[in-house]
Homo-oligomer: A and B are copies of this chain.
Amino acid sequence: VNPPRVAVIGLGLIGGSIAVCLRQAGIHVAGLDHREEVAEVARELGLIDEIHGDVASLMQEREAVVLAVPVSGVFDLLPMVDRYAERHTLVLDTGSVKRPVIEVIRALPGASRCVGGHPIAGSEKSGPAHARPDLFRDRTFVLTPTSDTANDALQQARTLVERLGALPVIMDAAEHDRMLARSSHLPQILSTSLALSVHRIAPELAGPGLQSMTRLAASDPAMWRDVLTENCDEVLSALDDYVAGLDRMRDALQRRDGEELAALIAAGAQARYGLFGVAA
Chain B nearest CB from A209 CB (Å) reads 5
Does B196 lie within 8 Å of A229, measured CB to CB? no
Contact of A120 among B188, B205, B241 (CB under 8 A): B205
Judged by DSSP, the binding face of A is helix
Is the Cβ of A276 less than 8 Å from the Cβ of B213?
no
- Please state the number of chain copies in the assembly: 2
Q: Which of A182, A188, A197 has the most CB of B within 10 A?
A: A197
| Complex Cα–Cα for A272 and B48 (A) | 32
Among A26-34, A81-89, A107-115, A248-256, the one that faces the other chain is A248-256
Asked whether A266 is an interface residue with its Cβ less than 8 Å from the other chain, the reply is yes
Assess whether A75 is interfacial by the CB under 8 Å rule.
no
Q: List 7 A-B contacts (CB under 8 A).
A: A183-B207, A187-B194, A190-B190, A194-B242, A196-B267, A217-B271, A218-B273
Taking A120-B205, A140-B204, A184-B209 as given, write out 20 further A-B residue pairs in contact, using a Cβ cutoff of 8 Å, ordered by the A residue number: A120-B204, A120-B207, A182-B197, A182-B200, A190-B194, A193-B246, A194-B242, A194-B245, A195-B268, A197-B238, A212-B212, A212-B215, A217-B268, A219-B265, A221-B261, A229-B261, A232-B256, A235-B253, A236-B250, A236-B253
